[in-house]
Structure 1
Amino acid sequence: LGNLFWVLAYDTEYAMVDRDDDLKIGMKTSAITLGRFDVAAIVAFYLLLVLIWGVALAPLALGVPFWLAMGLVLAQVAWHFTLIRHRTREGCFTAFTSNHWIGFTLFAGIVASYALR
């Protein structure tokens, strides 16, 4: 479920890049559907990703590396907000293309937690 919100976040960032073109051809995207709430929704989607992963993985007691990684993901979410808040094509595209760092950070936190047990 957390991954679903992650996909919604980065897909909406990408949809914001093409919003003007999509409106011209009548395409319905998440960015168009969310309208002026697109940025808030993206941040909420990312926060739901972090919350769901945190709740799901907390019982595994992964320790400090995992929680540090979660903190780094939150920092990346804040950075994404700064990129998309003005809804520029460049900012939204940069947020979309750098999204893999969120996944890498989560992965690295889990791997480091198991490696340091």
Structure 2
Amino acid sequence: LLANIFWAIAYDTEYAMVDRDDDLRIGIKTAAITLGRYDVPAVMVCYGVTLALLASIGLHRGLGLVYYLGLAAAAAIMTHHYRLIRGRDRVACFKAFNQNNWVGAIIFGGIFADFAIRRGIPWT
């Protein structure tokens, strides 16, 4: 649950970075506005906490290499998000936000594949 909350804060802040100017104009206090110049570091810290919690869960549950490869792939996408959001360009921030579906799909794929391999579920 905590990993999901930190991930949601990260991608919600990326989305809020897209609407920052409009939100300032109408007086909405989003995470991007509240965090100010610390919005990008906060997003990356939330991604880091998400990954650390997921790795801890994997360790606790005895998940295998495939799970951690999925986390590594998700981390690569999250790292790419830094390159996208650091300039606070609206289009780039929206692209980062939209890529979070891949983050979720890859993490799910790692969980599913690890489960299937450990349970001996046939792939064909």
TM-score by length of 1: 0.97
What is the CA-CA distance between 1:57 and the residue it aligns to?
A: 2.3
Distance 1:44 1:5 in 2: 9
Deviation digits for residues 56-110 of structure 1 (CA, Å, limit 9, x no counterpart)? 2212221110010111111011111111010000000001111111111110001
Residue 18 of structure 1: aligned partner: 19
Deviation digits for residues 2-49 of structure 1 (CA, Å, limit 9, x no counterpart)? 100000000000000010111111110000000000000000001100
Residue 83 of structure 2: aligned partner: 82
Question: Which structure has the larger Rg?
Answer: 2
The aligned runs of 1:1-117 (5 Å cut-off) are: 1-117=2-118
Distance 1:11 1:59 in 2: 28
Question: Matched residue of 2:29: which SS?
Answer: coil
Structure 1 unaligned spans of 5+? none
Distance 1:33 1:102 in 2: 25
Distance 1:73 1:97 in 2: 14
Calculate the aligned-residue CA RMSD, in Å: 0.7
Identity %: 48
Shift >6 Å, 4+ stretches = none
Q: How many residues align?
A: 117
Residue 122 of structure 2: aligned partner: none
2:17·2:93 contact (CA, 8 Å) conserved in 1? yes
Structure 2 unaligned spans of 5+? 119-124
More relative contact order, 1 or 2 (CA 8 Å, 6+ apart): 1
2:17·2:88 contact (CA, 8 Å) conserved in 1? yes
Distance 1:65 1:51 in 2: 16
One-letter amino acid matched to 2:13: T
